A and B are shown apart, each in its own frame.
Chain A
């Protein structure tokens, strides 16, 4: 008898251990996936991350230029003392180049330094025919092509297009007598425009959704009687949570686009995206505000009313200030939602990356920028991952803030 019991017990123990083990395994899998995502994104994107990415334009500017006639001659220039060691300096033309890699990991030559008196500081824009537009080569320009004549008047071409590096380009220029034409490019691939658009989106959508959401939450919690109308309003707002964001996008272009037209919009635009986001954010803001209102004790309201305040004074002077941490939580969650949203915005703002976005122009949020990159023929994983890192960092910061806020909310003073 005892032996059988022991056997049963042993079997049970093994079974229990197995069951426990699979829960460990599945959690481990979850953790593994998270780590895999972070490792992948960071390893792919980290090298592209930098201030140039954050503040640079996405589109390259192309400059086809020639040197102003009167300055088009060689001189003798001194390299500045603080010139980068890897840079190749042409003392004849007063310009220095360095080797670098662009966003696509191709080798390029960048201008490192231009002497103030150098011929390259006095350029004419050839792409504009009838007007004389002068400009100067600047450090950071990508040198695609420089064509020059040697003393015999024979034209040569140098630059990136000839697969030269900085040193070779410099040596080539030392042969030159006259510069015929140059083709420069700015690097591009930056995300400043998308960051700006994202900020616009966050700002405008919160500006609309916050007052509306807070007011709705106040009605639902402070005024509404428990009846059928209230129940209907509540369930209608709850239902919004379950609507996929792409549907909000469809709603945006049909219902809200005419509204932005009143402001003068002709295409889909950032304002439309913000309007649409505001609708998406409403349930989040209403819920977190209401949760915060619930925590404010009823005795606060009683005290205020018994002192001869009316209900609006009670709400604005006592109840809402008490609810601020909760409302802030809602704001943080909303910002996270705006940063992460893509499908609704693709419909309402377009996928054109805009370097100079304004409210009524098209533009991409960071997330849509990623989608734009990923849906091209040859997706640039490095850039997409770099933007993902920016987004993840934002989201992490927001998450931590929410956690701290809710801690503050929980150990409340009452």
Chain B
């Protein structure tokens, strides 16, 4: 036997390899740390920038938080009604989209024949992959038309269809694939035995699907709803195309224009310094707080819902 490798192996080189291992590990760890610190950086910097208007530029915090007018031409910044508008439009969208999403998920997982199910899955995937600006173009070309025709039926006039209703419809469409795909995952995760148990007790397939499967999957479906709501809160460009940016409020009339936190942050991005610029960060801070709070509350609700049987 000839030896080729034995003489080449050097302990010194292998020591070096092990030291290199340590360095690589440090590199990988740094990457992980850097990636995870992004969220902290976001929170810290936006908070710092977001509170400067109150600390340095004399904006009153309470009139900001509970204000009902946003007029940058007059320097009045009240975000209170905008928060309400954001909540109204997002929950409105959720109200519309949630039942449809769950039913569609049930259809795909349990009811539809195989081919139809595969087709619908593709439909959902495609809807999920359409960028929000494209939804915006679609909405300002069709939904606004729909809304203004509808308003005309009631003898109302809208601002070219830009309205709360248009925002709700748009957001409902946009969060539909999110909630559906999470619901599908939740329903697929339901234990087969639970289903078989129900069937064995003489319930029909449909009864089992609606009563047993959906209740067993409710925690996952609820998680989908929370995620969908988060998307609705944070959606900016598409909403900006149909909201109409009303300067006071809050808006509860479906045919009236509205203004959400995100559209406020997007409107008139001309300045890059000064109060009008900084106040956007305050709005961003409020947006993050709204998302965080609603997530917390909904997760509490979810726990409650999950516990009762």
Interface residues of A (CB under 8 A from B): 12, 15-16, 19-20, 22-27, 29-31, 33-34, 36-37, 40-41, 44, 211-213, 215-216, 218-220, 222-224, 232-234, 236-237, 239-240, 242-248, 250-251, 254-255, 268, 279, 282-283, 286, 308, 310-313, 315, 336, 339-343, 346-347, 350-351, 367-368, 370-371, 374-375, 379, 381, 384-385, 388, 391-392, 395-396, 398-399
Contact = CB atoms under 8 A, between A and B. Distances in A.
7 contacts: A30-B104, A242-B291, A255-B42, A311-B25, A315-B24, A343-B262, A396-B126
Interface of B: 9, 14, 17-18, 20-21, 24-25, 27-42, 45-46, 49, 99-101, 103-104, 106-108, 111-112, 119-120, 123-127, 129-138, 140-142, 173, 176, 180, 204-207, 209-210, 227, 230-231, 233-237, 240-241, 262, 265-266, 269, 272, 280-281, 284, 287-288, 291, 295
Nearest to A278: B38
Given A26-B104, A27-B107, A219-B31, 14 more contacts: A25-B103, A27-B120, A30-B104, A237-B35, A254-B49, A311-B21, A311-B24, A315-B24, A343-B132, A381-B141, A391-B131, A395-B129, A395-B130, A399-B125
A244 B238 CA distance: 13
A388 B104 contact: no
Contacts of B295: 242
A224 B180 contact: no
B131 A250 contact: no
A282 B31 CA distance: 11
Contacts of A37: 130, 134-135, 138
Contacts of B34: 212, 216
Q: Identify the 3 closest CB pairs spanning chains A and B, nearest first.
A: A244-B234, A340-B131, A215-B31
Contacts of A223: 25, 28-29
A336 B132 CA distance: 12
**B-side interface mostly:** helix
A64 B173 CA distance: 50
B131 A339 contact: yes
A370 B241 CA distance: 11
Contact of B100 (A30, A240, A346, A367): A30
Contacts of A385: 137, 141
A403 to B, nearest CB: 8
**A-side interface mostly:** helix
A245 B173 contact: no
Contacts of A236: 36-40
Contacts of B35: 212-213, 216, 233, 237, 240, 282-283, 286
Contact of A336 (B46, B100, B129, B142): B129
B283 to A, nearest CB: 9
Most buried by B among A247, A310, A315, A399: A247
Most buried by A among B27, B31, B119, B125: B31
Contact of A342 (B42, B124, B132, B205): B132
A33 B125 contact: no
A5 B2 CA distance: 89
A332 to B, nearest CB: 11
Contacts of A343: 132, 236-237, 262, 266
A374 B243 CA distance: 13
A219 B30 CA distance: 9
A251 to B, nearest CB: 5
Nearest to A367: B133
Contact of B230 (A242, A283, A399): A242
Contact of B131 (A44, A242, A342, A351): A342
A245 B107 CA distance: 32
Nearest to A333: B129
Given A16-B204, A246-B236, A388 B133 contact: yes
Contacts of A19: 206, 209-210
A407 to B, nearest CB: 13
B133 A370 contact: yes
Contacts of A315: 24
B126 A244 contact: no
A233 B32 contact: yes
A41 B126 CA distance: 14
A14 B226 CA distance: 34
B36 A233 contact: yes
Contacts of A243: 39, 42, 234, 288
Contact of A240 (B38, B101, B108): B38
Contacts of B281: 250, 254
A341 B237 CA distance: 9
